[in-house]
């Protein structure tokens, strides 16, 4: 179906039950992504970005019981409720991923070529010889010079930027339709960050993949993403097309994040424009809008009830803010 999103998430809630506590790091979040598009998921540390994307794929650490509710539909197939073998079939093949910690994707004692080839053997049923040829193609695709020599190296022999390119090659080995990139540039230095981001964007377009780009940095979103979801304390605060949200952010939290981006014309030594305050601790009771205690526009209504996502009049942007949405009906 041409108009169906590739991935559609509706009212997703994730509960984590550990021996000591019951936590809800994702609380009723909805978004969709179409083939060939890039969706950025932005928010401060702990806002639920990683859990939201990886819990439906069964990628939570052992020792935690994960309860999911809502809908997570990938290519028309509902992921919530699938058995582990069924989800495993999608992981790494139809859905590729890059984890926040790049080293976790690499085996330190195995040659790079073998690690990429193994993924092609596993997901594309290739013979070892064909998979090795594919590994070489992938290393070229991610822009690594002297690719044949690199295949026989070990991860520790490469710089951080090259390692991240290998991680991307591994993520692409199963020819995924959707790539989930969780903070793919965080562990790199600034100049390399820009190169890796450009590479990911270029590959996403050339391979016509959908890409979820998880980041806490609003600065990387412009130019990379088509749509954005701004997360705050387990919930979506604002979502919509990136050009609309960046030019005219409605939610005070989105405005704060955009304001915090350093600008080229900032005088050297000028004060850091961070958001004052900190997000609520996960598990602490929240009355109304979770951002209200940090919000300079908060009114009494903000602490009364949880604000629903409401579409704005002039665009596909939705905002969960009682002040912005005064008098408007919920989405
Ligand atoms: N295995 C776990 N056990 C208990 N709590 C967890 C577990 N995994 C995540 N959490 C909690 O869930 C919340 C959301 O975590 P998540 O990793 O999704 O945040 P994030 O937005 O990806 O943050 P960051 O930008 O730091 O990666 C956090 O408060 C985190 O402490
Ligand atoms: Mg994370």
pLDDT at 182 over 70: yes
Q: Which atom of ligand 1 is nearest to the CA of 63?
A: 1
Please say whether the dihedral angle defined by the alpha carbons of residues 255, 258, 259 and 260, taken in this order, is positive or negative: positive
Cα 88 to ligand 2 centre (Å): 21
Confidence check: pLDDT of 1 > 90 = no
* Mean per-residue pLDDT, 194-219: 93
CA of 24 to the centre of ligand 1 (A): 10
Residue 25, classed as helix, strand or coil, is strand
Domain ranges (residues) in the chain:
96-175
**Is residue 270 scored above 80 in pLDDT?**
no
Average pLDDT, rounded, for the chain:
91
- What is the reported pLDDT for 41? 98
For the stretch 52-106, pLDDT in tens is 999 999 998 888 899 999 999 999 999 999 999 999 999 989 999 998 887 778 9
**Which of 51, 54, 56, 218 most suits a substitution to test ligand 1, by most atoms within 8 Å of the C-beta?**
51
- The pLDDT score that the predictor gives to residue 273 is 64
Torsion of CA 130, 133, 137, 139, to 10 degrees: 120
Per residue in 113-154, pLDDT (tens digit) is: 999 999 999 999 999 999 999 999 999 999 999 999 999 999
Q: For residue 100, which atom of ligand 1 is closest to its CA?
A: 27
The DSSP code sequence of 77-145 is: EE-TT--HHHHHHHBTTTEEEE-SSGGGGS-TTS-HHHHHHHHHHHHH---HHHHHHHHHHHHHHTT-S
Given a cut of 90, is residue 261 above it in pLDDT?
A: no
């Amino acid at each position: 179906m041409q108009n169906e999103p590739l991935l559609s998430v509706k009212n997703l809630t994730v509960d984590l039950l550990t021996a000591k506590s019951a936590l809800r790091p994702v609380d009723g979040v909805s978004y969709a992504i179409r083939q060939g598009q890039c969706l950025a998921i932005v928010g401060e540390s702990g806002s639920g970005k990683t859990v939201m994307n990886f819990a439906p794929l069964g990628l939570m650490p052992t020792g935690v019981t994960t309860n999911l509710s809502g809908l997570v539909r990938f290519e028309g197939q509902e992921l919530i409720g699938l058995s582990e073998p069924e989800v495993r079939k999608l992981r790494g093949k139809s859905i590729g991923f890059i984890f926040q910690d790049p080293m976790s994707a690499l085996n330190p004692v195995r040659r790079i070529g073998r690690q990429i080839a193994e993924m092609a053997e596993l997901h594309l049923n290739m013979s070892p010889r064909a998979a090795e040829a594919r590994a070489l193609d992938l290393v070229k695709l991610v822009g690594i010079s002297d690719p044949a020599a690199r295949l026989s190296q070990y991860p520790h022999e490469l710089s951080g930027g090259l390692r991240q390119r290998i991680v991307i090659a591994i993520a692409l080995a199963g020819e995924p339709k959707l790539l989930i990139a969780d903070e793919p540039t965080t562990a790199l230095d600034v100049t390399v960050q820009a190169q890796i981001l450009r590479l990911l964007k270029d590959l996403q377009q050339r391979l016509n993949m959908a890409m979820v780009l998880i980041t806490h940095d609003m600065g990387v979103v412009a130019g990379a993403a088509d749509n954005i979801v701004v997360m705050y304390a387990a919930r979506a605060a604002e979502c919509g097309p990136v050009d609309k949200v960046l030019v005219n952010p409605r939610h005070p939290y989105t405005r704060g994040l955009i304001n915090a981006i350093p600008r080229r014309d900032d005088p050297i030594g000028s004060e850091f424009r961070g958001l004052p305050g900190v997000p609520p601790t996960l598990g602490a009771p929240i009355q109304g809008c979770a951002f209200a205690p940090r919000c300079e526009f908060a009114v009494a209504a903000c602490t009364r009830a949880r604000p629903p996502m409401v579409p704005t009049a002039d665009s596909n942007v939705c905002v969960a803010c009682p002040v912005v949405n005064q008098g408007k009906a919920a989405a």
